[in-house]
Structures are given as structure tokens and as C-alpha cells.
Amino acid sequence: MTQFERYKNELYRYALRTVWDRGVAEDVFAAAVLAAWENWHRFEPGSNFRAWMYKILTNKCFVANRDTMRTPRPLDDTPESSFVELGNDRGYADILEDSDRFMQECGDEVHRAFAHCSPKERACLLLRAEKLSYNEIAEVMGIPAPTVMTHLARGRAKLRSELLEYARERGLVRNLPRLLEKEAPDEHTQRMQNE
Amino acid sequence: MLNRTEKDHLWMANLDREVTPAEALHFQQQLSETEQTRMAHEVHLEELLVERLLEGPDCPEALWRSIAGQVAQRKPARVSRRPVFAWAAGLAAAAALVLVAGAAWMALNRAVPEALAVNAPTVEALAAESQTTPDRAAVETFLRDHDFALALNDFDAMPPASEHAVALLGARDSDTDGMVELLYNCCGRPMKLYLARPGSEGAQLLAEAGRRGGLLEQKTIGGYAAGVAGNHHADNLLRVLTALEA
């Protein structure tokens, strides 16, 4: 049990962030540890125990989410966000320039924004946050590494877009995208206009 | 010229430092001054976001004690390891011969019974056979109405993610007693998932077809016989079914 003990806190938090409900997270976490224990013979000594545990736990979390969300949700028809294109937004630039202050303003908003990501995006983001490599995440999720990168890019773009939206509502950033925003008139022009 | 996804991948790999120093340097050289500034800011923002995402309580001690207690009552499964004898190689060779002969026999007898054949030439033709709308709720109602205590899972939401594009087309009664058919489109090919009540004619048919190698997949789910037929090997299609608790 030493290995389990070593990772219990991070695995527990991962379950909490993936299934949201504390009661379900505890059940899922317990089921994953017991499943790993019962399948110990399948674990190859010397291989990555942490990734193996995440794989079992991710499966349990996905099944739990499936069971608790049986009603199909309507398809999200908002345009796909691109991480790179976010850079064109003046408001987003404001966030980047003073991200420490912005994050203090955000409070729990990060978790609300995180909820807008798809289950696979959330899992990839959390696993990456726990410093798993792309190949380890690919192994845990059973998907190719480029797909992991796509989930990460989309997840990060969604997370940032949601935070940007929040910042706009709170008046924390400029409201116009960079391409649409007019340069502020200089003092001379301003004076002429006023006259 | 890179497309949007490729650009995103490039930024991800550099943000996550999943590149060699030479690749990172090359990437930096491609960026404008504004983009370089943005990348530096992104690294910092990502650190703050990760910190916030990982915030949360530790595993409660009471929960861990309860799990440890359950673990103590269960022994981990072990693979029995017997000593290797000299005759093991001979035995393996004999087993291989039996397998080859068996495979040849299976190949000769591999015939899908007519009742289990997927005759629809296209997914559109198969969809036209459906007696329900192509959604999970309708098919689950159909199953309930036919006394199958089974639920359908969302194939796409199940890890490991499948490389196959699977879509539910609907469900229909089978001509065989005690059996229903779930209709699927897998990668543009028509597929059928057969379900039969235990002891029914359908269950016998599935068991026989399974023995003759006529099914792509076969197993018992919640006491019901289930099998998959079609001209395309779906990726573990039977995963879509879950037995409902009585």
C-alpha cells in the first residue's frame, strides 16, 4: 500500500475535479484503489505506477460521469476556440499583462470556467497539471499524443475564453477585440473634436 | 503554411516544454516580438491556473482508513508461476498444432447464419430497417419494452477513446424468437448488435454462431446473450451495453 499512499492525495483531488460531486468522487476513488489492488498482478514492476493508477481512476471517473449524466446534452454549437487566435484579443492581452492581479480577482471563477471544458479536455488538463508527459497522458486516456495536444489546446482556449468573458462582465479588461478597436485619439485630435 | 490546429499544437508543445532545446529555439525565432512576449506571459498564467486547478482538500483520513481496511480483507490476485520443465517446449508445440488445426476448422466453418447476416448494403438501408428513432433514449425504451434490462452507453464518452466512428441508427425486432437487433453505423459500414433472452431461440443461435466463429464479438451481459455481426471490425462495440440492476 506504500505506493498507493504516496499518491493518494493527488489522485483524490483528481477524482474531485473530474466528477465534481464529493460523494461520487470518494466512491470512485475507493473503487479505483480496490480495483488496482485486485489487479496488482497486471501491473508490471518497474513501469509507471502513477500513470497506471491514473488510467484506472480515469476510467472509473468517466463511467461515473456517464451514469450520472444519462440525459444527452445538446451539442455545443459555439465556435471552436483556437489558443493561438486568442492572442488577437486586446482584452486577453490585458489579462496576460497582469495575470497575478487578474487571478486574485477571479476567485472560484477558474473552477466554473473549467466546467465548460469537455470531460476529455478536463482530464487532459488535470493530468498535464499533475506534470504527466504527453505520452503518459496518451497512455492513460488511450488516445494518440496529437489528440492529447488537441484536447489541451481546446481546453486551455475554452478556459481562457470563459475567464475573458468574466473579465469583460466585471469591467476588468478592455471590451473590444484588438482588430476592431480604434486607436485612442491623441490630445490634439481630442481637443479639435471637443471644439 | 501551418493550419490552426498545427499552430495550436506548436504552442502547446512549447508551453509545456515538450520540445528539445533546439526545437524551442527554432520556435522562438519564428515568433514576432509580440508573440514572444505573449509566450512568456502565457507560461506565467498557466502556472497560476495550474495552481488554482490543483487546489483542493487532501484525501480524508477516515476515507483512506476505510479503503485500507477493505484492502486488508482482500488479497491481491496473483499469477501462479510454475517451474518451467523441459517438456514445456514440446507441449507448446503440440498446443500450437492443435490451435492451427482448430483455426483451419473454424475458417472452414466460419459462416454467419442467415438470421444473423447483415444484408443491408449501406448504413442508410440499415437505418431504414429501424423501428425507433436513432437516439439512446428511444432505444433504451425499446429495450425496456422488450424486457431487456439493459442501458446504452455513449460510445464516444468511454475511454479508451475509439478510433472508430460509431453512431447508433436505432433498433428493431428480430425474426428470431427472443432476440432484438441494435443497428449501428461504424466507420460508414452497417453493423448489428444482437441481443437474446436467456434460453431463447435467439440465444441458441448466437451461441452456435459464436462457436463457429461467425460473430465479431460475443459475450453475456446481464444474463443476456449478445453478439456483433457485420463487415467491419468495430472496436469492442459490446462496450455500449450495461446491465441494469434488478
Whole-complex ipTM:
0.81
pLDDT at A70: 43
What is the bridge-based pairing of β-strands B179-186 and B166-173? antiparallel
Taking one residue from A and the other from B, the number of pairs with CB-CB distance under 8 angstroms is 147
Domain match, B140 and B231 both = yes
Domain match, B118 and B237 both = yes
State the nearest Cα–Cα gap between A185 and chain B, in angstroms.
23
Q: Is A37–B57 a contact, with Cβ atoms under 8 angstroms apart?
A: no
pLDDT band at A9 (very low <50, low <70, confident <90, very high): very high
DSSP state string for chain B: ---HHHHHHHHHHHHTT-S-HHHHHHHHHHS-HHHHHHHHHHHHHHHHHHHHHT--PPPPHHHHHHHHHHHHHSPPP----PPPPTTHHHHHHHHHHHHHHHHHHHHHH----GGG----SSHHHHHHT-SS-SSHHHHHHHHHHTT--EEE--GGGSSSPPSS-EEEEEEEE-SSTTEEEEEEEETTEEEEEEEE-TTSHHHHHHHHHHHTT--SEEEEETTEEEEEEESS--SSGGGGEEEPP-
Judge whether B24 lies within some domain: yes
Domain match, B123 and B210 both = yes
Q: Are A40 and A87 in contact (CB under 8 A)?
A: no
Condensed to tens digits (0 to 9), the pLDDT of residues B42-79 reads 999 999 999 998 888 999 999 999 998 888 877 655 54
Amino acid found at A147: T
Q: Is A66–B77 a contact, with Cβ atoms under 8 angstroms apart?
A: no
Cβ-Cβ contacts under 8 Å, A132 against chain B: none
Domain match, B235 and B132 both = yes
Mean pLDDT, chain A, rounded, equals 83
pLDDT at A125: 95
* B18 touches A: beta carbon within 8 Å: yes
Candidates B221, B208, B190; CA nearest to B112 is B208
Q: What is the 3-state secondary structure (H, E, C) of chain A?
A: CHHHHHHHHHHHHHHHHHHCCHHHHHHHHHHHHHHHHHCHHHCCCCCCHHHHHHHHHHHHHHHHHHHHCCCCCCCCCCCCCCCHHHHHCHHHHHHHHCHHHHHHHHCCHHHHHHCCCCHHHHHHHHHHHCCCCHHHHHHHHCCCHHHHHHHHHHHHHHHHHHHHHHHHHCCCCCCCCCCCCCCCCCHHHHHHHHC
Judge whether B226 lies within some domain: yes
* Overall number of domains in chain B: 2
* B135 touches A: beta carbon within 8 Å: yes
Domain match, B121 and B232 both = yes
Judge whether B151 lies within some domain: yes
Candidates B219, B214, B241; CA nearest to B230 is B214
pLDDT at residue A180 is higher than 80: no
Condensed to tens digits (0 to 9), the pLDDT of residues A42-79 reads 888 788 899 999 999 999 998 888 776 644 444 455 55
Q: Is B53–A8 a contact, with Cβ atoms under 8 angstroms apart?
A: no
Domains and CATH numbers, chain A: 2-68 (1.10.1740.10), 84-169 (1.10.10.10)
Q: Is B158–A62 a contact, with Cβ atoms under 8 angstroms apart?
A: yes
Domain match, B159 and B238 both = yes
* A58 touches B: beta carbon within 8 Å: yes
Domain match, B118 and B209 both = yes
Domain match, B130 and B235 both = yes
pLDDT at A181: 43
Q: Is B161–A146 a contact, with Cβ atoms under 8 angstroms apart?
A: no
Judge whether B202 lies within some domain: yes
Judge whether B68 lies within some domain: no
Q: Which three cell numbers stand for residue A88?
A: 488577437
Distance of CA B65 to the CA centre of its chain: 34
Mutation target to probe the A interface, by most A beta carbons within 10 A, among B31, B35, B59 is: B59
Residues of A (69-88) whose Cβ lies below 8 Å from B: 70, 72, 82-85, 87
Can you give the pLDDT of all 246 residues of chain B as single tens digits? 778 888 889 999 999 999 888 888 888 888 888 889 999 999 999 999 999 988 889 999 999 999 988 888 776 555 444 445 556 667 777 787 777 766 554 544 445 677 788 888 888 888 888 888 888 888 988 998 888 988 887 765 665 545 677 788 999 998 888 999 999 888 788 889 999 999 888 998 888 888 777 788 888 888 899 998 887 776 677 888 888 765
Residues spanned by the domain of B40: 4-53
State the nearest Cα–Cα gap between B168 and chain A, in angstroms.
13
pLDDT at residue A28 is higher than 90: yes
Judge whether B66 lies within some domain: no
Domain match, B125 and B24 both = no
Condensed to tens digits (0 to 9), the pLDDT of residues A71-119 reads 444 445 555 678 888 888 888 988 998 899 999 988 889 988 998 888 8
Judge whether B135 lies within some domain: yes
Q: Look at A147 and B116; give whichever has higher pLDDT.
A: A147
pLDDT at residue A183 is higher than 70: no
pLDDT at A179: 47
Domain match, B120 and B203 both = yes
Percentage of chain A with pLDDT > 90?
42
Domain match, B152 and B232 both = yes
pLDDT at B98: 75
Domain match, B41 and B134 both = no
